[in-house]
Amino acid sequence: MSMLKVENIYKSYGSCEVLKGISFSMEQHETKVIIGTSGTGKSTLLKCINQLDPPDKGKVWLEGKEITNPKTDINKIRQKIGFVFQDFNLFNHLTALKNVSIGLEKVKKLEKEKAQERAIKELQRVGLEKQAQQYPAQLSGGQKQRVGIARALAMDPSIILFDEPTSALDPELIGDVLDVMKSLAGEVAMLVVTHEMGFARNVADEIIFMEGGIILESGPPKQMFKNPKMERTKQFLGKISTLYGKE
């Protein structure tokens, strides 16, 4: 059984239908990258998965449990689904350390010392143990995002959803964040919405190309980059490669 299974998701905002039947599945420790033009519902799809913005139709299963079932305790499931935001959304009133430990303390009910110990470990993992006592306003964008990743990791998620994690960063700072993400590949499942083609090509097990609210094509990076089936995929990848560099 797949770890994550998404089945026939539909989502509309008013009269605008954003997702028109999305289905895919992910195995443990797999990395999948979702690409596509803006406004095709990539971010919406991520929010439909963790029920931040529940889908109108369709089902989502995580480790055999149906998340979309209203009887499921969504707060419990969400602990298993990390989320990294485009604009970080760190808790502004808490230090980097506290940002990482708060979920352990308040949700997993760990003792304060244990939670902080774990938080330090996660900050080390993303290379920010020195910044532990700084507040988000004192961190650079790249550092903020790495704290965001550490915050997600601390909860021991089965999967982390990344919603354009590097789009709000200066080009110089993107590398640090991508390096952290690369180091996670194979340790935890990742579903990444991004325009970083280098990351998609080198790290992803599969690339999903979305357009107009559906999955147009998906496959391993080699196949997608070298000989995509659809003309549109080729066109998109060609365009974005010239924009973002080929690596």
Partner 1 sequence: MSVTFLLTIFSIIVGFIIGISLSLGRVYGNKIISIICIGYIEIFRGTPLLVQLFIIYFGLPAVGIALSPLHSALLGLSLNSGAYQAEYLRGSIQAIPSGQMSAARTLGMTKMQSIKNVILPQSLRISIPAWSNELIYLFKYTSIVSIIQVSELTKEGELIASRNFRYIEIFLIIALIYLIFTFIITEIIDRVTKKMSIPGIGLQIKTRPKLS
φ and ψ of 214, to 5 deg? -130, 165
Cβ 48 to partner 1, closest distance in Å? Answer: 13
Residues 6+ apart with CB under 8 A from 238: none
The residue (of 87 and 170) whose beta carbon lies closer to partner 1 is 87
Structural contact between residues 74 and 65, judged by C-beta atoms closer than 8 angstroms: no
Give the Cα separation of 182 and 199 in Å (integer).
Answer: 8
Under rule CB under 8 A, residue 216 binds partner 1: no
**Residues numbered 38-57 forming contacts with partner 1, rule: CB under 8 A:** 50, 52
Under rule CB under 8 A, residue 151 binds partner 1: yes
The residue (of 38 and 75) whose beta carbon lies closer to partner 1 is 75
The residue (of 85 and 199) whose beta carbon lies closer to partner 1 is 85
Angstrom distances, CA of residue 79 to CA of 10, 29, 130, 225: 24, 17, 27, 35
Under rule CB under 8 A, residue 71 binds partner 1: no
Structural contact between residues 181 and 190, judged by C-beta atoms closer than 8 angstroms: yes
Under rule CB under 8 A, residue 131 binds partner 1: yes
The residue (of 25 and 140) whose beta carbon lies closer to partner 1 is 140
The residue (of 34 and 215) whose beta carbon lies closer to partner 1 is 34
**Residues numbered 75-114 forming contacts with partner 1, rule: CB under 8 A:** 75-79, 81-83, 85, 87, 89-93, 102-103, 106-107
Cβ 195 to partner 1, closest distance in Å? Answer: 21
Buried b vs exposed e over 148-175: b needs ≥16 C-beta within 10 Å? bbbbbbbbebbbbbbbbbbeebeeebbe
The single-letter code of the amino acid at 69 is N
Residues in touch with partner 1 (CB under 8 A): 50, 52, 75-79, 81-83, 85, 87, 89-93, 102-103, 106-107, 130-131, 134-138, 140, 151-152, 155
